[in-house]
């Protein structure tokens, strides 16, 4: 079985210090949490950025500062900027994150709209998806296709047929938001993508480690982090992103999955192909 690629989603755009004091806002805090995850075994840092007061931003300047700080403490890590941003941002705002120097190897591509609870809707029109895919293709950035339900896989495949995505595709199945986070659902998603694709399983909230364990056993990869879950176990807040990654590493060892380094992850994900 392939080595396991662990992605750490270190802060997201919604979770706050009032939920867990370890959630990073400042450049220094973001670098600290990235290093804690990297030292524990993460080869990819999925990156949102915040202003010092915690306000989500897609500012190119802020992304550049945070990426430079992360690279200063873990030079070989893969940094995956989010083009999702936060609910209500424009497409132009959201794309700022990929125009840093040097351009990222990897970035997220959300392939559908999603209900985030209450009145919050994360909007991705067909034109938004095609425009983001085209921009990444032109800039030689590999997309991670973010899907929250089966319909988003179908949308991604339509974009692929328009030659705006290149094989082999890489998917991230985000379960526990719009689609329930069960092993049945994960299996259905895996069976719905091209056989040469790679994939990552992401469980939100209480589903995080259940989806992580299933992904490890099924030969996929894993994402954890404060964006998705702030607890190391029921009722106990995680002290750092590194602590969440360490738990995934322990689970992987139980099933004899070795952990991929950043350079090994690059090869497994076909960067530069």
* Beta partners for residue 26, in sequence order: none
Tell me if 200 is assigned to some domain: yes
Which residues have CB under 8 Å from 29's CB, separation 6+? none
pLDDT at res. 86? 81
Q: pLDDT, tens digit, for every residue of 84-135?
A: 988 888 999 999 999 999 999 999 999 999 887 788 888 999 999 999 999 9
Helix (H, G, I), strand (E, B) or coil at 221: strand
Indicate whether 273 belongs to any domain: no
pLDDT higher than threshold 80 for residue 142: yes
DSSP state, 86?
S
pLDDT in tens, 151-179: 999 999 999 999 999 999 999 999 999 99
How far apart, in Å, are the Cα atoms of 102 and each of 99, 138, 139, 140? 8, 15, 11, 12
The answer to whether the CB of 87 falls within 8 A of the CB of 116 is yes
Tokens found for residue 108 = 């997220």
pTM of the predicted protein model: 0.97
Q: What is the mean pLDDT of residues 25-30?
A: 98
Which residues, in sequence order, are bridge partners of residue 144? 108
Q: Given a cut of 60, is residue 71 above it in pLDDT?
A: yes
Residue 264 domain-assigned?
A: yes
When pLDDT is averaged across residues 60-81 and rounded to a whole number, the result is: 98
User: CATH code at 176?
Assistant: 3.20.20.70
Q: What is the pLDDT of residues 176-235, one digit of tens each?
A: 999 999 999 999 999 999 999 999 999 999 999 999 999 999 999 999 999 999 999 999
Using the predicted structure, report yes or no on whether residue 44 has a pLDDT greater than 60: yes
Domain around 31: 6-268
What was the pLDDT predicted at 272?
Answer: 55
Instruction: Please name the residues in contact with 185: beta carbons below 8 A apart, sequence gap of 6 or more.
Output: 175, 179
Residue 1 inside a domain? The answer is: no
Task: Count up the domains in the chain and report the number.
Answer: 1
On the 0-12 / 13-18 / 19+ scale of CB atoms within 10 A, 243 is middle
In a domain, 256, yes or no: yes
Sheet containing strand 44-47, edge to edge, reads: 78-81, 44-47, 6-9, 221-224, 198-203, 170-175, 142-147, 106-110
């Amino acid at each position: 079985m392939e080595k396991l690629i662990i992605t750490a989603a270190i802060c997201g755009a919604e979770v706050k210090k009032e939920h867990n004091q370890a959630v990073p806002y400042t450049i220094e805090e973001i670098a600290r949490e990235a290093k804690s995850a990297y030292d524990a075994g993460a080869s990819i840092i999925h990156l949102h950025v915040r202003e010092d007061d915690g306000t989500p931003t897609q500012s190119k300047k802020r992304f550049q500062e945070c990426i430079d700080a992360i690279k200063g403490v873990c030079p070989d890590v893969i940094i995956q900027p989010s083009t999702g941003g936060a609910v209500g941002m424009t497409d132009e705002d959201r794309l700022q994150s990929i125009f840093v120097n040097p351009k990222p190897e990897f970035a997220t591509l959300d392939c559908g709209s999603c209900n985030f609870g209450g009145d919050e809707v994360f909007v991705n029109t067909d034109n938004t998806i095609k425009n983001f895919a085209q921009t990444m293709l032109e800039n030689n950035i590999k997309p991670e296709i973010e899907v929250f339900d089966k319909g988003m896989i179908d949308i991604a495949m339509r974009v692929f047929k328009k030659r705006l995505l290149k094989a082999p595709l890489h998917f991230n199945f985000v379960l526990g938001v719009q689609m329930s986070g069960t092993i049945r659902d994960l299996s259905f998603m895996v069976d719905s993508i091209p056989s040469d694709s790679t994939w990552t399983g992401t469980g939100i909230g209480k589903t995080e480690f259940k989806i992580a364990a299933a992904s490890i056993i099924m030969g996929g990869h894993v994402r954890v982090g404060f964006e998705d879950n702030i607890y190391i176990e029921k009722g106990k807040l995680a002290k750092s992103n590194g602590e969440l990654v360490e738990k995934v590493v322990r689970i992987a060892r139980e099933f004899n999955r070795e952990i991929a380094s950043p350079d090994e992850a690059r090869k497994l994900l076909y960067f530069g192909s």
